[in-house]
């Protein structure tokens, strides 16, 4: 799809939920698409509800390791989908795939559970919408790309910044038309605060299958609340803010500037400000360089001290020889270097059109319109037989770059990347860490064994 055509589609107004429920979609047949959700927590439900808003799908199964979350999600789905049916519930995603054979699977699990359900869904003949980062380690991402291609599946990654109207507007107005000039340096940053420590370990509650939650990851004992979005503070399950926040904006600027793999990645940092005996084991400080030769991208994470830019606590700044462009999920600001007037743009707020967005709190209102457009692109791509705007291969590049940044930080040295061989150049120790050992009987997928 041409960039300007996509921008036009991205800012087109969407119908209300009430109108959608009476709308006939050109799906190729009269039957609604059968959808399964794996991971029914915060963002899993959010993604599913935005899909329901743009297509009258039938949710045929929900899966989660937390029975209370499952029950809550089932009631909400019954209220929101066209049929009003309460979908079947599963504690093991493999049962959902086997019993229901969905057309589409939404994967909204913690990061360490993105790979296996995506690969297995592709094998089962489903198209997949998977959250970012796509994988915990690099080889998982390779396997996911290989599965999508082998089984000819459409796999869209939740990089909805590629479908965010105000960011696409900023790209077209200031990057593509040259008003920013030659771009040599990009700063991506997060100055959000550090997560608090976990309570002491204790036996998991009866409604939570903790063994299945940990799954293929390295074992970690249960802390109260760790399963409810706080798993990002556990290295066993996530890549920290690098895999959560850096990855979004790194992917966006790669898309805007048409960048592929960097030639080198180097990072430093660690746990610098927490107590030495903290039970939060993700870094609170990091500086990472993604070296693209004539474009240098730097990620700065500082979860302590004062935020130097209150309007952009999480954002990216693109420095050109004709001006500066600041972008975030909420806004953009273009500041010309010499003559000209500064320009500001804001995120689309559709809460008046979609009041249900705030009924399931805490939906990110600033991302809702973009996610709806991202879902539309996903549906159109599978119908048209084309790659979606955030195809799994691009999702792999952005995710792996952030994973490699953490690996560089942990090894204490820069990594030179061979994108053809998919290996770190002259570094056997680093290459041995591109895939972690899976726990127990779980088998780590590779491009060869999917």
pLDDT value of position 228: 86
CA dist., res. 450 & res. 151, Å (int): 10
91-96: long-range pairs with CB below 8 Å, 24+? 91/63, 91/64, 91/65, 91/67, 91/209, 91/212, 92/63, 92/212, 93/38, 93/63, 93/117, 93/120, 94/120, 95/63, 96/36, 96/38, 96/61, 96/62, 96/63
Helices (H) and strands (E) in the chain, counts: 14, 16
Backbone angles phi and psi of 417, in degrees to 5:
-110, 130
Question: Could you tell me the sign of the dihedral formed by the alpha carbons of 217, 220, 221, 225, in that order?
Answer: negative
Domain 3-162+363-391 has CATH 1.10.3470.10: no
| Spatial distance between the Cα atoms of 364 and 161, rounded to a whole number of angstroms | 13
Contact call for residues 299 and 243 (beta carbons, < 8 A):
no
Residue 258 pLDDT > 50: yes
pLDDT tens by residue, 345-394: 999 999 999 998 888 777 888 999 999 999 999 999 999 999 999 999 99
CA atoms within 13 A on the CB side of 381: 25
Angle between helices 42-54 and 67-80 (to 10 degrees): 20
pLDDT per residue as tens digits for the range 17-63: 333 333 333 344 578 999 999 999 989 999 999 999 999 999 999 99
Residue 136: both structure tokens together: 């915990």
Confidence at residue 29, expressed as pLDDT on a 0 to 100 scale: 57
Edge to edge, what strands does the sheet with 104-107 contain?
89-90, 58-63, 34-38, 104-107, 127-130, 155-157
Q: Indicate the range of 1-15, 27-41, 247-261 predicted with least confidence.
A: 1-15
Residue 107 and residue 60 in contact, taking contact as beta carbons nearer than 8 Å: no
Instruction: Quote the pLDDT of residue 375.
Output: 98
Contact 408, 414 (CB under 8 A): yes
Q: Do domains 3-162+363-391 and 167-349+396-432 have the same CATH topology?
A: no
Taking residues 2-21, what's their average pLDDT? 32
Phi, psi (degrees; rounded to nearest 5) at 438: -80, 150
pLDDT of 25 reads 38
Break the chain into its structural domains and give their ranges: 3-162+363-391, 167-349+396-432
SS (H, E, C) 152-219: CCCEEECCHHHHCHHHHHHHHHHHHCCCCCCEEEEEEEECCCCCCCCCCCCCCCCCECHHHHHCCCCC
In terms of C-beta density within 10 A (0-12 exposed, 13-18 middle, 19 or more buried), how is residue 75 classed?
Answer: exposed
CA distance 166 to 334: 12
Ramachandran assignment for 187, one of left (phi > 0), alpha (psi -120 to 50 degrees), beta (any other): beta
Question: According to the model, what pLDDT value does residue 168 have?
Answer: 98
Q: Is 429 exposed, middle or buried (0-12, 13-18, 19+ CB in 10 A)?
A: exposed
Is residue 220 pLDDT above 60, yes or no?
yes
- Strand positions, DSSP E, 64-138: 89-90, 104-107, 127-130
pLDDT exceeding 70 applies to what percent of the chain? Answer: 94
433 is written with which tokens?
Answer: 């860490």
For 404-437, what is each residue's pLDDT tens digit?
999 999 999 999 999 999 999 999 999 999 999 9
Q: How many residues does the chain have?
A: 450
Class of domain 167-349+396-432 (CATH, top level): alpha beta
Model pTM score: 0.92
- Both tokens assigned to 284: 């609170």
CA pseudo-torsion sign 193, 199, 202, 205: negative
Give 28's contacts (C-beta < 8 A, 6+ positions apart): 383
> Do 154 and 127 touch, CB atoms closer than 8 A?
yes
288: three-class secondary structure by DSSP: strand
Q: How confident is the model at residue 194 (pLDDT cuts 50, 70, 90)?
A: confident
Q: What is the pLDDT of residues 72-104, one digit of tens each?
A: 999 999 999 999 999 999 999 999 999 999 999
- Nearest one of 148, 414, 366, 386 to 262, comparing CA atoms: 414
Q: How far apart are CA 112 and CA 232, in angstroms?
A: 10
């Amino acid at each position: 799809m041409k960039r300007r055509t996509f921008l036009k589609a991205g800012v087109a107004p969407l119908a209300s939920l009430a109108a959608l429920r009476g709308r006939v979609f050109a799906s190729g047949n009269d039957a609604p698409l059968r959808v399964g959700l794996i991971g029914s927590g915060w963002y899993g439900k959010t993604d599913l509800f935005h899909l329901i808003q743009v297509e009258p799908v039938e949710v045929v199964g929900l899966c989660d390791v937390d029975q209370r979350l499952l029950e809550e999600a089932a009631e909400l789905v019954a209220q929101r989908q066209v049929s009003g049916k309460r979908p079947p519930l599963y504690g093991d995603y493999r049962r959902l795939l086997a019993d229901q054979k969905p057309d589409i699977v939404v994967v909204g699990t913690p990061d360490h559970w993105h790979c296996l359900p995506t690969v297995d869904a592709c094998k089962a003949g489903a198209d997949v919408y998977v959250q970012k980062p796509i994988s915990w380690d690099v080889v998982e991402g390779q396997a996911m790309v290989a599965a999508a291609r082998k089984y000819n599946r459409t796999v869209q990654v939740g990089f909805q910044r590629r479908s965010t109207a105000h960011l696409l507007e900023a790209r077209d107005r200031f990057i593509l038309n040259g008003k920013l000039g030659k771009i040599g340096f990009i700063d991506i940053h997060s100055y959000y605060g550090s997560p608090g420590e976990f309570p002491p370990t204790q036996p998991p509650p009866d409604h939570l299958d903790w063994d299945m939650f940990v799954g293929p990851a390295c074992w970690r004992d249960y802390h109260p609340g760790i399963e409810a979005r706080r798993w990002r503070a556990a290295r066993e399950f996530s890549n920290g803010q690098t895999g959560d926040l850096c990855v979004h904006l790194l992917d966006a600027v790669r898309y805007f500037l048409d960048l592929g793999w960097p030639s080198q990645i180097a990072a430093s940092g660690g746990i610098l400000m927490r107590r030495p005996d903290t039970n939060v084991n993700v870094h609170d400080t990091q500086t990472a360089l993604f070296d693209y030769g004539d474009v240098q991208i730097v990620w700065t994470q500082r979860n302590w001290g004062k935020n130097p830019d209150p309007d952009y606590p999480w954002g990216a700044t693109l420095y050109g020889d004709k001006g500066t462009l600041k972008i975030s999920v909420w806004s953009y600001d273009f500041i010309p270097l010499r003559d000209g007037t500064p320009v500001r743009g804001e995120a689309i707020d559709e809460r008046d059109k979609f009041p249900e967005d705030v009924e399931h709190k805490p939906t990110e209102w600033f991302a809702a319109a973009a996610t709806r457009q991202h879902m539309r692109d996903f549906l159109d791509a599978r119908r048209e037989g084309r790659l979606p705007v955030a195809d799994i291969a691009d999702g792999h590049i952005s995710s792996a770059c952030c994973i490699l940044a953490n690996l560089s930080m942990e090894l204490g040295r820069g990594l030179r990347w061979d994108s053809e061989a998919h290996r770190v150049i002259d570094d056997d120790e680093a290459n041995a860490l591109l895939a972690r050992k899976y726990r127990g009987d779980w088998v780590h997928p590779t491009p060869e064994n999917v």
